Amino acid sequence: MKSNQLRAIARIAADNLVKLIEENEEEILNDIAAVAEEAQNQEADKIVFSLAHGIKLDLTRKNLTESLKWNVSKKLETCQALPDPDQPDLFDAVKKFQNTLKSEGASVVIGFDNKEVEITKDSIKAKKK
């Protein structure tokens, strides 16, 4: 294929893309508005509207077929720490520590940054220094 042919295909495809969008403008704009409204109603991290323009060259029949498609991509995401089976559960460890304090009738104050955490036989309280 010659460079001039490829440039001609690009110009035809660009013109056809504009025509496809203009012919379907109302439907595309309605779908974009629906996506924008849904984005306000959902707690999705990201909602994306995509327009895809396809160019297919049939070299046997020597014709050019173009397509325009649009869709909505929704992405919901959650993140949490994975438990490490080799590490004891912190909550269980603190409960065991509290049970030890309870049996001994003691308490512990741990300080870090500008905060303190007091662990007693009955509760765990965080407070500023």
For the stretch 110-120, pLDDT in tens is 887 778 888 77
Residue type, 107: S
Instruction: Provide the residue range defining the domain that includes 100.
Output: 90-128
> What total number of domains does the chain contain?
2
In a domain, 119, yes or no: yes
| Token couple for 84 | 């490490």
**107 shares its domain with 47:** no
Return the pLDDT at 125.
Answer: 76
Q: What is the DSSP letter of 85?
A: T
Return the pLDDT at 60.
Answer: 92
pTM (two decimals): 0.51
Greater confidence, 53 or 84? 53
**66 shares its domain with 16:** yes
Distance separating alpha carbons of residues 125 and 116, to the nearest angstrom = 8
Return the pLDDT at 103.
Answer: 83
